[in-house]
Amino acid sequence: MSASGSEFFSDHVEEAVLSPGEHFRGYEVKKLLGRGGAGMVYLVRHEMLDSLLALKLMSVPDTTAGDEPVKRFIREAKIASRIQHPNLVRVHDAGFDSVRNCYFLVMDYMPGGTLRDRIGLDGPIPEAEAVEIVRQIASALAAGARFGVVHRDIKPENIMFTSDGRAKLVDLGIAKVCLDDTLHTSTGATFGTPNYMAPEQALDASSVDARADVYSLGIVLFEMLCGRTPFVGDTVQSIIAQVVSDSPIIDIKRIQPDVSNWVSALLFRMCAKQKEKRIASPEILVGEILKHTGQRPDPEENAEYAQIQPKSPVARPNTPEEDAAIDAEIEAKRRARRRREIIKKSIFWGVVGLLAAATILFTVL
C-alpha cells in the first residue's frame, strides 16, 4: 500500500482501524486513504508541526503464517529511512504501538495520486512528460543501486506525485539488497507483478540485479505512451509465458506511430529479454535520457547523492541473528495479546458468574 493507499500485500492480517478525529502517537487522523489485506493507510496531521503525512498501519498477525508481511513492513521502513532522494518517498517515523498491537510507518503524503490514477483518467501520457517521469524514477533507482538495492516491483501503482508534479517511487517492501540477500528471497521465489516483471525475475526473483528494474521501468514507459502494457492475456500464466519467451516486446510504433525513433529504440534496449543486452543500470539510463532531451542533471538530485554516501553499511539484508530477533519480537507481541485476551475473558466470565450468583441469592432471599 502506497502513500496514497493504492495497494498492499495480499496476506490476510487483522486490520488496525482508526477513525477520523482520533489521535495516534502525536498525529490526528483526517481520513482513510486506502486499505489492503495487511493493513490500512490514513491521511494524518502532525499535531505540533501541522503538516499532512501518510500513516501506514499493520497489525501483528495471530499466526506465524503472517510473519513475512511484518518483515517486509519493517524492511521497507529501514530501507526508505536510510536512502534519501528527492524521487523516493521519505519515511519520517516508524515503530510498534502496543496499545493497538500494530506496526506503524509515517511517510510523505502524495496528494498527486499514482501514475495508475493518471493513466486511468487521462489515457496515454505525452511523450515528453512520460520520458521525464522515467528519468526521475530512474534517478531514484540509481540512488538505491549505489547500495545494491533492487526494487523488484516497479509499476504505475508504485509511482506517485507530489502536489507540484514531481514523481516519487514508493513501496520498498519486496526490495532486494544484492549483498548476500539470502534471507529475504529464497532461490526460485517469485516477487513482483507479472506484467512488469523482467524474464529473469519471473523465473527466480532471488537472482535479479538493477537491470530487472530497468526492464520494469521500460514496461511502465510503454504503458504511459500506449495506455496498455506490451503483454495481453486472460490469465497470469499467459502473461508470464509471454514475459519469459524469447520474442521481443511489440514495436511501440505499431500502436503509437507518433512515438519518436529514439524513444522506440530506448524501449527495445530497456526491455531486452536477455539482461546482457539491456541498458546496464538506472544511472546509464538517466544519462541517455539527458543526452537525447538536452537536459542538464538535476542539481537537487546530485546534492542528495552526495548526502547519502554511506559511512557504514546501509540498507543491508538482516543477519540470521537479526531475523531471529524480529521473529522473537513478533512472537512475544503475539503472546502478549493472547494473554490480554485471556485476562479479558476471565474477567468477563468472572463478572458473569458473580452476577449469576447474586441473582440466585436474591431469588432465594
Domain count, the chain: 2
Q: 195 with 84, same domain?
A: no
Cα gap 119→224, rounded to integer Å: 7
CATH code for the domain in which residue 185 is found: 1.10.510.10
Same domain, 154 and 285: yes
Are 166 and 286 in the same domain? yes
Q: 251 and 290 share a domain?
A: yes
Distance of CA 122 to CAs 118, 126, 154, Å?
Answer: 6, 10, 20
Query: Could you tell me if 97 and 233 lie in one domain?
Result: no
Q: What is the pLDDT of residue 171?
A: 75
Instruction: Look at residue 308 and tell me if it is in a domain.
Output: no
Q: Which of 74-88, 232-246, 268-282, 299-313 has the highest mean pLDDT?
A: 268-282
3-state secondary structure 83-124: CCCCCECCEEEEEEECCCCEEEEEEECCCCCEHHHHHHHHCC
Residues 119 and 80 in one domain: no
pLDDT of 310 over the 50 cut = no
Q: Which of 260, 275, 300 is the last residue in one of the domains?
A: 300
Q: Are residues 95 and 120 in the same domain?
A: no
Looking at the domain assignment, is residue 315 inside a domain? no
Residue 224: which domain range? 115-300
Grid coordinates belonging to 297: 542533471
More confident residue, 97 or 1: 97
Residues 284 and 165 in one domain: yes
From first CA to last CA, the distance across the chain in angstroms is 62
**Phi/psi of residue 311, nearest 5 degrees:** -90, -15
| pLDDT surpasses 90 at 115 | yes
57-61, 87-91, 173-177, 264-268: least confidently modelled range? 173-177
Domain-located, residue 305: no
Cα 26 to Cα 48, 53, 92, 235, 323: the distances in Å are 8, 12, 13, 45, 30
Positive or negative torsion for Cα 286, 287, 293, 297? positive
| CA angle, residues 70, 186, 142, in degrees to nearest 5 | 75
Helix axes 299-307, 127-145, angle to 10 degrees: 10
Domain-located, residue 362 = no
Domain for residue 181, yes or no? yes
Per-residue confidence (pLDDT) for residue 27, from 0 to 100: 96
Residue 166 phi/psi, 5-degree rounding, is: -70, 135
Please report which confidence band the pLDDT of residue 242 belongs to, taking 50, 70 and 90 as the band edges: very high
Identify the residue with better confidence: 330 or 274.
274
With b for 16 or more beta-carbon neighbours within 10 A and e for fewer, the 217-234 pattern comes to bbbbbbbbbbeebbbeee
Residues 45 and 160 in one domain: no
278 is a domain residue: yes
Q: In terms of domains, do 3 and 88 share one? A: yes
Residue ending a domain, choose from 109, 140, 172: 109
Same domain, yes or no: 146 and 246? yes
Q: What is the phi/psi pair of residue 359, to 5°?
A: -65, -45
Last residue of a domain, one of 81, 109, 137: 109
Q: List the catalytic residues.
A: 153
Nearest to 64 by CA among 13, 8, 103, 101: 13
In a domain, 295, yes or no: yes
pLDDT of residue 258 exceeding 80: yes
What does pTM read for this prediction?
A: 0.75
Complete DSSP assignment for 193-248: -GGG--HHHHH-GGG--HHHHHHHHHHHHHHHHHSS-S---SSHHHHHHHHHSSSP
- Is the pLDDT at 248 greater than 80? The verdict is yes
Same domain, 89 and 129: no
Domain-located, residue 348: no
- The CATH number that applies at residue 85 is 3.30.200.20
Q: How confident is the model at residue 214 (pLDDT cuts 50, 70, 90)?
A: very high
